[in-house]
Homo-oligomer: A and B are copies of this chain.
Amino acid sequence: MSNKEQNYREFKEEMRVIADLGHTQSVLSWDQETYMPDKGISFRSQQLGTLSTIAQEKYVADDIKLCAQSVSESYGEGDDEKINADLYLKERARQEKLSPAFVGRSTEVTSAARHAWQQAKHDDDFRAFAPHLEKVVVLLRERARLIDEARDPYEVLLSEFDEGASIEQIDMIFADLKKELLPLYQKTQEAPTINDDFLYEGVYDKQKQLDVIHKVTSLIGYDFDRGRVDLVEHPFCTTFSPDDVRITTRLKEDDLTFGLWSSIHEAGHALYEQGMRSDQYGMPLGAAAGMSIHESQSRLWENIVGHSLDFVERILPDLQKSFPEQLGGLSGMDVFKAINKVKPWPIRIESDELTYHLHILIRYEIERDLIGGMLAIEDVPEVWNAKYKDYLGIDIKSDREGVLQDVHWSLGCMGYFPTYSLGSLYGAQFMEYAYKSVSGLEDDLKCGRYDTLLKWLQENIHEHGQRYVSNDLCRHVTGNELSVAPFVTYLTSKLKNIYNI
């Protein structure tokens, strides 16, 4: 073995150990959310802290840095080995700008904020949360300054979730979205209303819902030999290895849609993670390319595939067998229309495919202005409610259903929300290109052969890992810059069909 191969082998071995520790933390966190008894929390937190500390020590150790530097110098441009080493060195450099003291302080501020948020939401009292939000904003401004003083602070935060995104791009995209979606929204609200009552009537037995979820997520290619589904309070997808990617869901007895389609969403994330190269375990080339691309996969399967008429017609017989009372006499078109109904609603995670982006837009405008110092903490609820009235025509009745509904800010995540919208746009643009370039794709989807699409996504997106940042990947795959056009075209066509507008 040559010297450079030996170096790479050592680098890879160190990265494997760090990944093992990271995935182990994921197992502990998954268990905490699914099965852990109540009183286990205190020692569990301690154990998670221990694993995190050991992993971090290994990540910033001198030997792995030297190894990676040698690899970077001895391999050529475009070699996987050099790409992995360079991506590691870049991420390490970013992390080194945040001192252990700053990281420790961040954990303190966000732990307290998370706790206060939960209580404030319960008590419907934004003022109790306000001092914590203030601290979070100050902390995040400092974080951005530490990472890159020269760059717009909000953009720095954004780039932690989506390396390719810029303020300029986001502003342009949201301006375009606003211009397109607001009139479309108006038209749907003026059209005759759609009946979706049956989705929320009677009792949707939870075990039957779970059986349907198994069947439907298997149908789109989620591999239960390398995954499983469990029940939690807040659904998520988690990865223990490419061969063990788990989804979670929450079931409501009075709502068919939430459990099923949020499971398809999580399965979309899981398909991405199951599609990573096993031989790149622990390496940047074996890891997801940021949150926007992750969301492109989940939202593509949930919405573009999962909310299509073909898909609904395919799964309806199973749904009708499980829930004959509610769904017995309905056509695929009835259900298709109901699950795509556009309606004003205060809660983001329960909103439809169109208004969803108005929810995100509101959050983006507020958090950008908070970080930029253009908006005072105490004015946030008022601004929030005014924007909901303005964009969606909704009167927000309480902070609980308004500004306190999401956990993100309390966790110190600002710059995260835009990745949801970017995900939808990337998904639509990937899909538009796939339709053009994959022969027979439209027929295959009509006939329930979802593996054609999955294989294309694996080869064109999943298997690249972090080789490209989001906008480079988009250019590489579709030949074009990200634009709102594919999404707007797709959604307009669908809603025209539904609302006859």
Contacts and interface: CB of A to CB of B under 8 A. Distances in A.
Interface string A161-201: 00000000000000000000000000000000000000000
A243 B21 contact: no
Interface stretch (A221-229, A362-370, A450-458): A221-229
A16 B42 CA distance: 14
Given A43-B243, A240-B44, A243-B43, A20 B50 contact: yes
A31 interface: yes
Contacts of A228: 35, 37
Given A35-B228, A39-B226, A50 B27 contact: no
Contacts of A241: 40, 42-44, 47
A46 interface: yes
A60 interface: no
Interface residues of A, number: 36
A364 to B, nearest CB: 37
Nearest to A25: B24
A244 B43 contact: yes
Contacts of A39: 223, 225-226, 243-244
A244 B24 contact: no
Contacts of A28: 24, 27
Nearest to A241: B43
Contact of A37 (B17, B47, B51, B226): B226
A36 interface: yes
Given A24-B28, A31-B31, A243 B42 contact: yes
Interface in A32-67: 35-40, 42-44, 46-47, 50-51, 54
A47 B24 contact: yes
A348 interface: no
B40 A240 contact: yes
Interface string A361-387: 000000000000000000000000000
A219 to B, nearest CB: 18
Nearest to A58: B54
A227 B36 CA distance: 8
A343 interface: no
Interface in A203-245: 223-228, 230, 240-244
Contacts of A46: 16, 20
A311 interface: no
A4 interface: no
* Most central of A17, A225, A230 by chain B CB within 10 Å: A17
Contacts of A24: 24, 28, 47, 50-51
Interface in A49-97: 50-51, 54
A281 interface: yes
A138 B37 CA distance: 44
Contacts of A35: 228, 230
10 contacts: A17-B50, A23-B47, A27-B28, A27-B31, A31-B31, A37-B226, A37-B243, A39-B244, A40-B241, A40-B243
Given A17-B54, A20-B47, 16 more contacts: A16-B46, A20-B46, A20-B51, A21-B50, A21-B51, A24-B28, A36-B244, A37-B228, A37-B243, A38-B225, A39-B244, A40-B226, A42-B243, A43-B242, A44-B240, A44-B241
Interface of A: 16-17, 20-21, 23-24, 27-28, 31, 35-40, 42-44, 46-47, 50-51, 54, 223-228, 230, 240-244, 281
6 closest cross-chain pairs (CB), A and B: A43-B241, A40-B244, A20-B50, A20-B47, A39-B243, A39-B226
